[in-house]
Structure 1
Amino acid sequence: MKRFLLVLVLTGTLLSCKNTSENKKDGEDSATVESNTVDKVETHYVPIDSDEALIAASLMAAPEESRDGCKVIGYNMAGDFVTLREGDNEFIVLADNPKQSGFNAASYHKSLEPFMARGRELRAEGKTGPEIFDIREEEAKSGKLDMGQFGATLHIYYGESNQYNPETHEVEGAHYRYVVYLPFATAESTGLPEKPLGSNHPWIMDPGTHKAHIMISPLRKE
C-alpha cells in the first residue's frame, strides 16, 4: 500500500514538472513571437509632395538644436526659387529641389551666403561649373567676394530616395556629409591629407584655392 502511494506521489510530481516546463516553453515562444513582431514593424515613407513636407525634410540637414530658427530657401513645389520660411539664427537651409531625382538638402552658416548666392547667380546665367569656379576664385582673391567666416560649415543631407517619414521627417536612406570652409588653406597649413585615408577620415579638397575645405563623410548607418 505504501509503495502504491509512493508511486502516485512520484507520478504527480513528474506530471507537474512536465506541465511547468511546457508552460515556460509556451511563454518563451510567446515572447519570441512578440519580439519578432516588434522587429518587423516597418517605417512608412511617403512622397514629399507639399512645401510643408519639403521644408520639414530639408531641415534635417541642419543640426537638431538649430532647426527651429533656420531660414529655408530653395525651389518650392511649383518650381519657383523663394524663401520657404524666414529664420533668425546662424543657419540657412537650401531645400531639396523637388524637380530633381533623389534628395539633396544643405544647411550652411549665414556668413557663407554671399559665396553661395554668387554661385546661384552665375549658374542662372548659364555658366558652367569650371567657369563659376574661376570667376569666384578671381573675385575672392581681389576681395570682391566675401567668403564668410574662416571655418564656416556646410551640412549636406542626401540620398537616392525622395520619400520621407512624416513623423520623424527623416528621408529614406539619406546620409550626412560635412564641409568646413578654409579659403586658400593647404595640406601643409592644416596637416590634412589631400585624399581620405579612410571612409570617414577628414581631408582637404581644392587646397590652395578660394574653395578649400575639409571634407568629412561619417560612416553610413545600415
Structure 2
Amino acid sequence: MKRIFTVLAFTGILISCNSSDKTKTATQESATTETEADSSSNDINPQLKPIDTDEALIATALMAAPKESRAQSKVIGYNMAGEFVTLREGDNEFIILADDPKKVGFSASSYHKDLEPFMARGRALRTEGKTEQEIFAMREAEMKSGQLEITPGSTLHVYYGAKTAYDPETSKVDGAQLRYVVYMPFATSKSTGLPEVPVAPNHPWIMDPGTHKAHIMISPLPEDSE
C-alpha cells in the first residue's frame, strides 16, 4: 500500500512540475512576443509627418541645395492649392524647384539660376501639352540656333525618394537621397572619357551624349548602404 501511495505522490509531483514548466514557458514566450512587438513599433519614427503645407514643401525642397546655400535660395513650384508660384524669394545663385504634391513620390531639385531659361522653357512647353519627345526636339533646335543656352558645367541637384513623409526637425524626407547632374551640351563619351552607361554603383557616366541635353550623371550610394 505504501508503494502505491508513493507512486501516486511522485506522479502528482511530476504533473505539477510539468504544468509549472508549461506556464513558465508560455509566460516567457508571451514576454518575448511583447518585446518583439515593442521593438518593431520602435522602428517607426513618430516624428515623421506628411508634406501637407506650403511651409513643409519649402523645408523639404531646401534639402536639395547645398547646406550653406539654403538660407538665401529662391524656392518655386506648385503650392498645396495646385498653383505654380514663387514659394519663397531668394538672392543667391540657386533656384530650388519644390516637390509637386500631386505626383507620386518625392522629387525636389536645385540648380544654378543661369539654367532657369532652359528649365522655364520646358515647363512652358509641358503646360502647352507637348510630349517629352517634342520638348526635347524643340529645345535642341533652340539650343542650336542660340535661342537657349546652357553653360557647360551647370549643375542640377536632385533630392528624391519613393516616400512623402518627412521629419519636421531635420526636414529630411524619409528614405530620400541625392543625385547630381552636370550639364555638358553636345559632349560625348569620346570627348569626356566617360562611359555611356554606369559601369559600377556610384560611378559617373554620360547621358544623352551628343545632344543639347548631354550631362554627367552622378548617383551617390544611399546612406544606409555605405
TM bucket, shorter chain: 0.7 to 0.9
1:56 equivalent in structure 2: 59
Confirm whether residue 203 of structure 1 aligns to residue 205 of structure 2: yes
Confirm whether residue 86 of structure 1 aligns to residue 89 of structure 2: yes
Aligned mate of 1:122, from 98, 121, 125: 125
Q: Match of 1:84, SS?
A: strand
Listed as ranges, the matches of 1:1-222 within 5 Å are: 42=45, 44-147=47-150, 149-222=151-224
Q: Distance in 1 between matches of 2:45 and 2:211?
A: 46
Shift of residue 40 of structure 1?
A: 6.4
Residues 178 and 83 (structure 1 numbering): CA distance in 2 closer, same or farther, change over 3 Å? Answer: same
Q: Which runs of 5+ in 2 are unaligned?
A: 1-38
Q: Distance in 1 between matches of 2:187 and 2:43?
A: 49
Shift of residue 161 of structure 1?
A: 1.0
Offset from partner CA, 1:21-62 (integer Å, 9 cap, x none): xxxxxxxxxxxxxxx9xx969462001111011100111000
Residue type of the partner of 1:191? G
Q: Match of 2:108, SS?
A: strand
Shift of residue 180 of structure 1?
A: 0.1
Q: How many residue pairs are counted as aligned between the two chains?
A: 184
Normalising by structure 1, what TM-score? 0.80
Q: Distance in 1 between matches of 2:127 and 2:70?
A: 28
Superposition RMSD in Å: 1.4
Q: Match of 1:154, SS?
A: strand
Residue type of the partner of 2:195? P
Q: Distance in 2 between matches of 1:86 and 1:42?
A: 32
Q: Match of 2:223, SS?
A: coil
Shift of residue 100 of structure 1?
A: 1.2
Normalising by structure 2, what TM-score? 0.79
Residues 44 and 123 (structure 1 numbering): CA distance in 2 closer, same or farther, change over 3 Å? Answer: same
Identity across aligned pairs (percent)? Answer: 68
Q: Distance in 2 between matches of 1:87 and 1:137?
A: 30
Shift of residue 146 of structure 1?
A: 2.0
Shift of residue 76 of structure 1?
A: 0.2
Q: Which runs of 5+ in 1 are unaligned?
A: 1-35
Residues 48 and 40 (structure 1 numbering): CA distance in 2 closer, same or farther, change over 3 Å? Answer: closer
